[in-house]
Amino acid sequence: MSSPYANRYLGESEHLPLARVIYAEMRKYPIISPHGHVDAEMLLSNKNFTDPVSLLMAPDHYILRMLHSQGITYESLAANSPEANWSVLAENWKLFRSTPSRIWFQEILATLFDVSEILAPENASKIYNQINAKLQSPEFAPQALFKTFNIELLATTDATDAPLDSHIELSKIDLGGRVIPTFRPDGVSDPERPDWKSNLTALGKRYGIEITSFANLLTALRKARAHFKDNGATATDHGVFTPRTLKLSSSEVEALFAKAVAGTATSVEIDDFRAAILFEHALMAADDGLVMQIHPGSLRNYDAEIFTKFGPDKGFDIPVATTYTKELQPLLNAVGKHPNFRAVLFTLDESAYSRELAPLAGAYPSLRLGPPWWFHDSLNGLERWREAVTETAGYYNTVGFIDDTRAFASIPVRHDVARRFDAGYLAREVSRHRITENEAMELAGDLAYNLSKEFFNL
């Protein structure tokens, strides 16, 4: 797909000719999306999206939270028809000026639906109908879009007890690329989750193990990881509050597990349990080679009322300050130089970029830095990240772009904007005599494609 905005975000005018050449090289590569949250069942069922809101607005918590910040309640959005919610969005589109949401949204309209106008109250109905008409066509069924988007690989996110039936069936379909699962053990790793015990029960039932001890939990997790690997998984995904790890004896961790199950564990003991099981996840990763993705620093479901009424992922996961050096030391002392261990570190705390993350990734062969995500996957965020980490960690201790999205239609746009930014950045580095043009062209393919494919064993 070609964007009418293709020359945007490529860099300053004096760097533009080279940036265009670098960007053209990047556009040759298909999309590798090793960390995302698109539903595999949606792709398998292959049902056309019912309306523009279900495709573009409802899955995007950035849009929902911005509207809520201006007094537009979730209750009102839930009660509205799709057409009414589209009108609400158009009436409030000014709220998104200079935000990443504006970039993704307007470029999706342009590249997918041939809409070059800026969304506004006076054209909202026309744009809605234009999108809706296209959505009913066979070309806009999810599997057809998958091919249109030129996706070579898309990783989903799946719970520990997932049977992966959708993935098994998808593997039999010619999509033009692969869809693979990602092992997400958060549901059984945090005793403070209200569904922790039910998740333990579901995992145990899935693999025929009564999880009455920490040892049994580890056995069930190993069986689940093997099942995921057998069905194409190459990575795990850990959305933890902190990256703290703790090496404990089997008796110590069994005591913590027993207290957690009994409901008598203190907050300190629960923190220790979370740190201990994250350490154990790393040991299992060194055994089976699944790449460990660690993204801490979010106080999830911050608003209790919104979570109770509408569930998770509604814009109320709020970042907190996060540190990494002391927290990861037990893990890295144990497996940081293990030839079979690989981990990608993400952060929502930009102050950690140059102080902790770049030095760690610049020292340990097992570590790579994930790009900015959530509130920082923007042009400004990408620039701050590159400037902060490149001098210490270089380019080859990063893993390319991660879209981390539930909004299926935004995947190609997100990757394309990231490629344009990187093309502009590389052109500027050439002008500053930090790299040569030949090196910039080599980096173009590495940043757009090769780094992710190699590190995630794809």
pLDDT in tens, 241-293: 999 999 999 999 999 999 999 999 999 999 999 999 999 999 999 999 999 99
The answer to whether residue 314 sits within a structural domain is yes
Q: Could you read off the pLDDT of 295-305 as tens digits, one per residue? A: 999 888 888 88
The pLDDT of 182-192, averaged and rounded, is 97
Helix or strand (DSSP H, E) at 368: strand 367-369
Verify that 155 and 128 share a domain, yes or no.
no
pLDDT for position 4 = 65
Choosing from 140, 165, 190, the residue where a domain stops is 140
Question: What is the structure's pLDDT at 20?
Answer: 96
Q: Classify residue 292: in a domain, yes or no.
A: yes
The two three-digit tokens of residue 130, written as one number: 């234009």
Does residue 18 have a pLDDT over 90? yes
Does 7 fall in a domain?
A: no
Judgement on whether residues 435 and 317 belong to the same structural domain of the protein = yes
The answer to whether position 2 is within a domain reads no
Per-residue confidence (pLDDT) for residue 2, from 0 to 100: 63
pLDDT bin (cut points 50, 70, 90) of residue 176 is: very high
Using 50, 70 and 90 to split pLDDT, how confident is the model at 1?
low
Give the domain range for residue 357: 13-49+141-455
- Number of domains observed in the structure of the chain: 2
- Does residue 253 share a domain with residue 115? no
* Per-residue confidence band for 9, with pLDDT thresholds at 50, 70 and 90: low
Percent of the chain with pLDDT over 90: 87
Q: What is the CATH number of the domain that holds 91?
A: 1.10.2020.10
Question: What is the four-CA torsion angle of 157, 270, 278, 328, rounded to 10 degrees?
Answer: 120
Q: What residue ranges in 190-336 does DSSP mark as E strands?
A: 235-238, 291-294, 298-299, 318-319
Domain match, 72 and 42 both: no
Is pLDDT above 90 for 312? no
Residue that terminates a domain, selected from 125, 140, 155: 140
Whether the full predicted model's pTM is greater than 0.85, yes or no, is yes
- Domain end, chosen from 140, 170, 196, is at 140
Edge-to-edge strand ranges of the sheet holding 151-155 = 31-33, 151-155, 178-180
pLDDT score recorded for residue 378: 84
Confidence at residue 180, expressed as pLDDT on a 0 to 100 scale: 98
Give φ, ψ of 398 to 5 degrees: -120, 175
Average of pLDDT values for 16-23? 95
**315: confidence class by pLDDT, cuts 50, 70, 90:** confident
Q: Which residue has the tokens 């569930």?
A: 311
Pick from 380, 378, 335, 386: nearest CA to 357: 386
Whether residue 116 has pLDDT greater than 80: yes
- Whether residue 325 lies inside any domain: the answer is yes
52 within 8 A of 129, measured Cβ to Cβ:
no
- Mean per-residue pLDDT of the chain: 95
- Indicate if the alpha-carbon torsion angle 122, 126, 128, 130 is positive or negative: negative
**175 pLDDT more than 70:** yes
At 274, which CATH number?
3.20.20.140
* Residue 17 pLDDT > 80: yes
In a domain, 1, yes or no: no
Q: Which residues of 61-90 are buried (b: 16+ CB within 10 A; e: fewer)?
A: bbbbbbbbeeebebeebeeeebbebbbbbb
In a domain, 195, yes or no: yes
Is the predicted pLDDT of residue 190 greater than 80, yes or no?
Answer: yes
> pLDDT grade, residue 6 (50/70/90)?
low
183 and 314 inside one domain: yes
